[in-house]
Amino acid sequence: MKFFDRKRELARLTKLGTREQGALAVLWGRRRVGKSRLLLEWCRREGGLYVVADQSAEAVQRRYFLESVASTFPVLAEAQFPDWRGALRALAREASRASWRGPLILDELPYLVASAPSLPSQLQAWLDTEAKEAGLVVAVAGSAQHMMQGLALDAASPLFGRAAEAMLLPPLPPGHLAEALGLRDHVETVRAYAAWGGIPRYWELAQPFGRDLDSAVGSLVLDPLGPLHREPDRLLAEDVPSATSLRPLLDAIGAGGHRLSEVAGRLAQPATSLSRPLGRLLEMGVVRREQPFGDHERLGKRALYRIDDPFFRLWFKVVAPHRSFLVQVSAAQRAGLWHQARAALFSETWEDLCRRGVPGLSAKLPVLGEAGPFGPAARYWGRGGPEWDVVARSVDGKRLLLGEVKWHDKAASASQVASAVAALSQKGIPQALVGRQTEVVRAVFLPEVDARARHSLDGVALVRAADVVDALRAEE
């Protein structure tokens, strides 16, 4: 599959080469998100060296490292060093002689650290001396997000303060998915994103199926022999340290336990024991903590925990509770299970994308552009009261956006548009969020609308799938 997006990340990495004394970049992000592909693209463009670690002994890892860099510095092919500092010092010496400045990329650094715990300290000493003198550009990356964040951001880490770039690589926005899979329109893009999210590896696996999402899900995910049938278990096991103990929390959240008390109840554990494992799931980007719009981050009484990754949502909705069933039945019966669940998954993904797209919608829609620009959006709910799907405040603080999100597989008819507008109007206005000078702007979010139905809007802004996908693509 071709290399998509990452223009901003590539530009920032490329700029490191302009630093005369070299620089360090630290990258992290969940597995399959495209870290290695980004680093390989940068390496190819700049003539760098890419080294990926594995789970082996320290001496073996060092031998593999030297064999990898020997493609550029043959003298190191047969060299022997008792520790990493000696190997790195020799590399800097050869790089200086050849006027080679990198980048030198060490991918999956957590595997190296697992076999050589002193490596961060040795890297720090090397970066401060020989690498700096040679003007080397160095990048380290890994999927163990807690460890990688700690290397760059923890004041106790030897590498703290030394990274010119400390970059969390997020999933790709949905804009490129249509091109990757040959999709026909933006509504199909939302459907596909509900299955694969922004993970390039999943796009690559789904690419041979093109627009046939049902067959792709059936073959890749539901079939017990499919490459993604046990994907979450593999991702948890591959994390460093292993995160397999977190699986029960994902089962509880995926089954509908969103409040902390509900998760604790399903696991028969005290709520106070869950803060650390939930924190790790948040760091991994698998789960998100959701609070009503306007609530202070430290107020957790109304907080909800939801699976954030679309593929994980699909897996814990369709696969996890039905593993035994999926092993025993035919492909047609597996497809039936998917057909029962997909509308809810499409709807939840559509709602998430609508909220994410709000800050970028001002440039796309004149009605919202005149009222905005708006800041980040969230849901809003109160005790026993109605729930607003989309709430955002304008950057100047003078306007409040209230939105109703509805999912329809086909273009919404006049009656469906009128129903969405009525549902939004009947909820009224959340008084806790509105001051005397606040102007309320209303919008309905519908994937597509029949051209004859637009008269039903009655002054309410219409936001379609095309608007949302384009707004998210504008973030690139």
Specify the pLDDT at position 364. Answer: 65
- Domain of 425, CATH number, reads 3.40.1350
* pLDDT tier for residue 285 given thresholds of 50, 70 and 90: confident
Same domain, 210 and 160: no
Calpha distance 27→169 (Å, rounded)? 7
Q: Do 32 and 138 share a domain, yes or no?
A: yes
327-354 pLDDT tens trace: 999 999 999 999 999 999 999 999 999 9
Residue 450 has pLDDT above 80, yes or no: yes
Q: How confident is the model at residue 238 (pLDDT cuts 50, 70, 90)?
A: confident
- Residues 326, 394, single domain; the answer is no
Domain-located, residue 64: yes
What's the mean pLDDT in 227-241?
90
Which range marks the domain in which residue 432 is found? 350-473
92 part of a folded domain = yes
| Domain final position from 329, 346, 363 | 346
Are residues 161 and 257 both part of a single domain?
A: no
Q: Are 3 and 37 in contact (CB under 8 A)?
A: yes
pLDDT in tens, 243-274: 899 999 999 999 999 999 999 999 999 999 99
In a domain, 145, yes or no: yes
| Residue 356: per-residue pLDDT | 95
Same domain, 156 and 111: yes
Q: How many Cβ atoms sit within 10 Å of the Cβ of residue 381?
A: 18
Percent of the chain with pLDDT over 70: 96
Q: Say whether both 157 and 273 belong to one domain.
A: no
Predicted confidence (pLDDT) per residue in 13-72, tens digit: 999 988 888 999 999 988 889 899 999 999 999 999 999 998 889 999 999 999 999 999
Overall average pLDDT of the 445-466 stretch: 84
Specify the number of domains making up the chain.
3
Instruction: Note the pLDDT of residue 222.
Output: 98
pLDDT band at 1; cut points 50, 70, 90: low
Mind listing the pLDDT tens digit for each residue in 371-424?
Answer: 778 999 999 998 777 899 999 999 888 899 999 999 998 999 989 999 999 999
Say whether both 357 and 466 belong to one domain: yes
Distance between CA atoms of residues 298 and 219, nearest Å: 43
Q: Are residues 246 and 306 in the same domain?
A: yes
- Which of the four pLDDT bands, split at 50, 70 and 90, describes residue 363? low
The reply to whether 2 falls in a domain is no
**pLDDT > 90 fraction of the chain, expressed in percent and rounded:** 65
CATH number of the domain that residue 268 is part of: 1.10.10
Please give the Cα distance from 51 to 64 (Å, whole number): 8
**Residue 360 domain-assigned (yes or no):** yes
pLDDT at 294 over 60: yes
Report the pLDDT value the prediction gives residue 362, as an integer from 0 to 100.
75
Question: Is 319 part of any domain?
Answer: yes
Task: Return the CATH number at 152.
Answer: 3.40.50.300
1, part of any domain? no
* Whole-angstrom distance, CA of residue 151 vs CA of residue 129: 19
pLDDT at 436 over 60: yes
If asked whether residues 28 and 132 sit together in one domain, one would say yes
Question: pLDDT, tens digit, for every residue of 149-207?
Answer: 777 777 778 888 888 998 989 899 998 899 899 999 999 999 999 999 999 999 999 99
**Could you tell me the pTM of the whole model?**
0.90
State which of 346, 369, 400 marks the end of a domain: 346
Same domain, 382 and 460: yes
Residue 242 pLDDT > 90, yes or no? no
What is the per-residue pLDDT for 475? 58
Show which of 295, 327, 346 is a domain's final residue: 346
Q: Both 83 and 101 in a single domain? A: yes
For residue 106, is it within any domain? Answer: yes
Whether residue 162 sits in one domain with residue 13: yes
Q: Quick one: pLDDT at residue 189?
A: 96
Given a cut of 90, is residue 87 above it in pLDDT? yes
